[in-house]
Every structure is written in C-alpha cells, then in structure tokens.
Structure 1
C-alpha cells in the first residue's frame, strides 16, 4: 500500500499530475483517499471537472499557485507566497463553495492600515476564485464589488537641476559612477542595471548602445538571475550618449569580470548580493550629500531612490522632444499609461523644447554647470 501523508486536520493527502497540472486528493481514511484518487482518474478520462466541491480554500489556493509558478518571476513567487501564507487565515478552512462576499470583505478590512497589501491580497484572491470558476467549483466570483482601501499614489521623484549637477560632480568611484550613468542616462530599472554584463554593450568608434534583456532580483536577500525583463517590451536597445561613451569604454576595459556589478569582497564573476547592492546605493547617496554640503547646494533626500534616476531619464526624453511611442520603447513600458501621465504633467508645468535628445543632454549639462557656477560665485 502506498504511503500517504497525514495532515494536521486528520485527513490523508496525496497529489497527482494530470495534463501537466497538479491535483490534490484527500480522505478521512486511506481507503477513502484511494477511492477519491480512483474517482479523479475516472473523471479525467471522462473529461469531467477534476476538483471536488468540498475542497478547502487553503488546499485550493496552492493548487492554483503551483500552476501559476512556471509563468511568473522569482520575486513574484515570493510575493504571492507571502500573501497566501499570511492573509487568508479567515477563510483557509472554509470550502471554496462557501466563501461569500462578506468573508472576503472581512479579509480586506483587516488590512485597511496597509492599503497596498490589501489591494495585492484582493487581486490574488480574485485570481484564485476566477480559476475556481474555470474549474467548475463555483459559478460566480464573490470578489465582485469589494470595497478596497484607497492607495495614495506617490509622486514620482526626479532630480532637480541642482541635483542633476551634483550627480555629475560627486566624487564617485568607478563602480558607483557606472551605476549612476546607466540609471540616469539609459533609464534602466535597478534590476536591469544589476544584471548588466560586458556582452550587453555594442560599441563603435563614435557610438554605441546597450541591450537590455535580463534582470537580477533579490528574494530573501539572495540574488536571483532571470533571463527575462519585467515584460516583453522591456527587451530593448538603448543608445549611449556621446558624453558617457568614453567612461563606458574605460569601465568595461578596467573590470576583470564579465558582470559589471559583482561583490566587492569577492573576485568571482557573480552578481552582487542584496547587501552589496544596498551598500552601493548608500555610498552613492552619501557622496551626493557630501558634494551638496561642499558646494552649499540643496539636496532633498526625501524620496530619493535608484528609481529617481529612471524618472529623471523620462523627463529628459520629454524635454528633448522624443515622441511618446519612442519614449515608451526606451523606458521598456508595456503601455504608455505611466509615460502619458508624466508627459501631461510636464506639459502643464513648462514649455516643451524641440531639440534632439543628444543635443539636449549636452545643452543641459552646459547650462546646469553655468547656472550652478554663477550661483556659487554669487554666494561668495
């Protein structure tokens, strides 16, 4: 007789794969479990629904999760896993068929002080119950018309002209400078920058571009390499501006590893750890602050993250006259919703300049330097 695991609730359990999907079978006794298993195989052959109407939510949510895992990133897997473990205790021991709108609202109400988590929990639950409809366990999704706590949208932080200048003159080491350059002048997401290798750069005597087609994310402080980006449109080739080409060439030739950002404490060609990345960002921020104090220039730390460089790049695209569709490609967005909001906001706040991107960057650097110099002289 096959060995079956006895659960905490006293039932026996096993699982079986059919058509590349995992199905769980339960029984109060081993005999009942064997019977239910045979019935599952019969139902499969007859093309009937393979899920019991008596399945508990805590069992079914992991059936759904197991089927979803192959199509999502490691970071998303960790996020879903946390939600499934921590936020469904109120309905875990209910049959899926017994879950009502009031039960779901109660789950969400317990998270009103954490609106982001509440919304993620709701979206996860909605997906699970939509799947239950497809599996013919329920006929209607009770998630509809649930009242969710409002999530306040944070205004996207960009570098001011003074801060832009500070990032040009701050005394970064080569590694820090390369990270800032790729974030500010190429608009890369942090996970894209962390994954860069020498093989991603295509340089000629007078121009070059960097290919973005992979990411490095952190799950439980471990660096996880992913052979894909945030979405299909995030795979892109980004031109390298003339003002950064000399340093990019120098940096690529100076490092011993193929990967651009590795752990400082090791000579191994491995992506940097979460701790090493946090230290890198801290050093970048500290050196900007130090230069700001030295030059008596304001530096607003609030909301400053690696994404500040990326958001600044979006404004550079706008002010240099890059069309929305083209900017969408450079930013690696699946749609233009976010960029449209940025462009509309900037349209309201100032007039648009119509110079090519390369010229605009050059002019901005020269103008910033001139303005800051005049400001410093006037303060003496």
Structure 2
C-alpha cells in the first residue's frame, strides 16, 4: 500500500512515538492488503480482516482511525473516491468464522442439481457453480454469453477489483453440463442478440438479482436440505451460518486442500497476493491438521532418535 508510505512520511515526524506505534500496529493488521492498490481494495476482504482483529473495541478503533487518515490523504490527492471506512463494522464483537460447505453437502447438492424434479434444482446448480469457480454471486449473475467458451471450457469474468476483472476460470466437469445448458437456453432465446444475453436469466429473460436469489432460492434450498436448521433460521442475523458467500470460501479451501498452485489460485480468485486468499478465505480442515500431526507419530515410531540440533 504505497499510499501508506507517503502518508506516514508526512505524518510520523509530527506525532509522538506512541502514536506512531499505534498506527504501525494498526497497519500490520492490514498486511494481506499491502500489495493491493487502494482503489482496488475489496470491501468484503477489508471487513474480514477487521473481523479477524482482536475483539477489543480499542484495537479496532485504531484500525478505523488509520483507514480514515489514509482515506483523507488519498481523496485529497485524487487517489480514491470514497472513504475506506464507509459501510465497515468496527464493533468490538468477537469475530465469527464463516462456515463453509462440507464435501458431504457438496455431494448432496450435486444430486439435487441433477434431479430436475426437485423444487430447487436450479438453485443447487447455481450454488455448485459458485463453489467450483470461486466467483462471487454478483459476478456469476453478470456473466454474458461472450464471457463463456463452451468449446474451450472457460469462463472470462469477474470485475469487483482490477485484479479480478476478466480473469480466466476453467470450467470443471462438475458444472460443465449446467453451464452448457444455460448457455444454449439463453442463446436460442435471442439468437440475433446473443452477445448481450446473460448466462443466467430470471423469469422475464433479464439478469438475475442477487438479493432475489438469496431470499427466494438460496435460503429456501438451505432450509429444505437441512443445511441451516430451524433454530438458526430464526436468528440469521446473529448466528454464523452458510451464506452465498460461503461458496467462495469453500472454493478457496477446496483448491488449497487439492494442492492447486498458489500463483494460479490467486489468478483464478482475482486477488493480487496469496496471503489475502489464505488468511481470509482458506479454512483449515481439522482432519487435514490431524493427518499432518499423525506424521509426527509416524516419525517417532520409525526414527531412532531426533537430530542433535533444532531445525
């Protein structure tokens, strides 16, 4: 974040060392965004970093003050249009982990997506596409037919940040048939104007609305499958639960666990560095941790002794 260096060079000589320390510590909380240009910072990613801060109101207040100072500096120099703090929650509430879909739940969704007699089969397909592409829901709904290559099995889309704009995403076999069917349906609806057609259409033939799908498709699907229980249904605002954005977290975790190359993963994900992807989106599976820890047990059984020095 080059703007921080310029701002601090002017600011720090004028303030006491304790204030410098507070600003420096607050800036460390934003480390995954160091290499992201200020205008390209994703608000959701920034909120996740704030949520990961210590739950004390004091710690988050210091981050808020820093972001406010950086915003004023950047706006005054036409480097930023809107304050970074707009719409962010700096309350001292303890951060709540965002749940992700399990492999068992993904298999259930695949079964539902193939069964066209199931009430929410289309919603299951949409969710699977989010899980297996890493696209944000709005990015998926914004895809037009020219963004899709059925023959090359490729999507070129996304656009919330510069790094994520028109990024190439391979279409995996798990969702290829769904996308191909949507493509053909949309194409033959208006063959003379297919370049302006959206991949996913609403009942009127226009672009799907994220809020509409969330309330009429996603949550009814979650409740019907029991992925969100009745006790949570009454307290969606207060209790951590699966949400449309959980699909993006699930994708990152699947890719990480499958050993996808880090450099390629951040390109698909639309980020500029792996640290942001790993810190915010990748969820460690306890089973994976247990398997790694098991290597220690295997080593102690198979090895005669430890090295004389620490490694």
Pair 1:168 & 2:107 matched: no
For normalisation by structure 2, the TM-score amounts to: 0.53
Matched, 1:272 2:175: no
In the TM superposition, what is the alpha-carbon distance from 1:113 to its structure 2 partner? 7.3
- Contact 2:141/2:207 (8 A) holds in 1: no
Partner of 1:156: 98
Structure 1 residues 52-105: Cα deviation after superposition (integer angstroms, max 9, x where no partner)? xxxxxxxxxxxxxxxxxxx969x97xxxxxxxxxxxxxxxxxxxxxxxxxxxxx
Q: Deviations over 1:318-342 (max 9, x none)?
A: 2222121111112112221133346
In structure 2, do the counterparts of structure 1 residues 114 and 249 end up closer, same or farther at CA, with 3 Å as the change threshold? farther
Task: Tell me which residue corresponds to 2:241.
Answer: 303
Alignment of 1:192-203 (within 5 A): 192-203=139-150
Contact 2:156 2:168 in 1 (8 A): yes
Match of 1:126 in 2: 69
CA distance in 1 between partners of 2:143 and 2:170 (Å): 15
Q: CA deviation at 1:195?
A: 0.9
Q: 2:141 & 2:59 partners in 1: Cα distance?
A: 30
**Alignment match of 2:265 (pick from 327, 339, 344):** 327
Which structure has more relative contact order (CA 8 Å, sep 6+)? It is: 2
Determine the C-alpha separation between the residues in 2 that align with 1:312 and 1:344: 8
Alpha carbons of 1:273 and 1:234: their partners in 2 closer, same or farther (altered >3 Å)? closer
Rate the CA distance shift 1:131–1:195 in 2: closer, same or farther, 3 A.
closer
SS of residue paired to 2:107: helix
Residue aligning to 2:162: 231
Deviation at 1:313, TM superposition (A): 1.2
CA deviations over 1:227-282 (Å, ceiling 9, x no partner): x3233245311111123222321222224372133443x34x34426335432222
What displacement does 1:177 show?
3.4
Aligned to 1:286: 223
Report SS of the residue matched to 2:226. Answer: helix
Between the aligned partners of 1:212 and 1:275, the Cα distance in structure 2 is: 21
Q: Deviations over 1:2-46 (max 9, x none)?
A: xxxxxxxxxxxxxxxxxxxxxxxxxxxxxxxxxxxxxxxxxxxxx
Moved more, 236-245 or 161-170: 161-170
Structure of higher CA gyration radius = 1
Partner Cα separation in structure 2 for residue 349 and residue 153 of structure 1? 25
Count of residues paired in the alignment: 208
| Contact map agreement 1:324 1:339 (CA 8 A) in 2 | no
Change (3 A) 1:351 1:319: farther
| Structure 2 partner of 1:65 | none
Q: How does 1:103-118 map to 2 (within 5 A)?
A: none
Q: Deviation per CA, 1:185-219, whole angstroms, max 9, x where unpaired?
A: 11111221121222211012xx5011114xxxxxx
Q: Distance in 2 between matches of 1:178 and 1:308?
A: 15
For 2:156 and 2:76, the matched residues in 1 are separated by: 42
- In the alignment, structure 2 segments of 5+ residues that lack a partner are 1-37, 44-55, 79-89, 113-117, 191-196, 231-238, 294-311
Q: Which structure has greater helix proportion?
A: 2
Mind listing any 5+ residue stretches in structure 1 that lack a counterpart?
Answer: 1-70, 77-111, 136-147, 214-227, 294-300, 353-380
| DSSP-derived class of the 1:309 partner | helix
1:183 equivalent to 2:130? Answer yes
TM-aligned CA distance change 1:349 to 1:290, over 3 Å: closer
- Point out the structure with the larger strand share: 1
Structure 2 residue corresponding to 1:243, chosen from 174, 184, 190: 174
Paired with 2:277 and 2:101, the residues of 1 have a C-alpha distance of 17
1:1-380 pair list within 5 angstroms: 122=65, 125-130=68-73, 150=92, 152-170=94-112, 171=118, 173=120, 175-204=122-151, 208-213=153-158, 228-255=159-186, 256=189, 258-264=197-203, 266-267=204-205, 269-272=206-209, 274-289=211-226, 302-341=240-279, 345=284, 348-351=289-292
Within 1, Cα distance between the matches of 2:106 and 2:283?
22
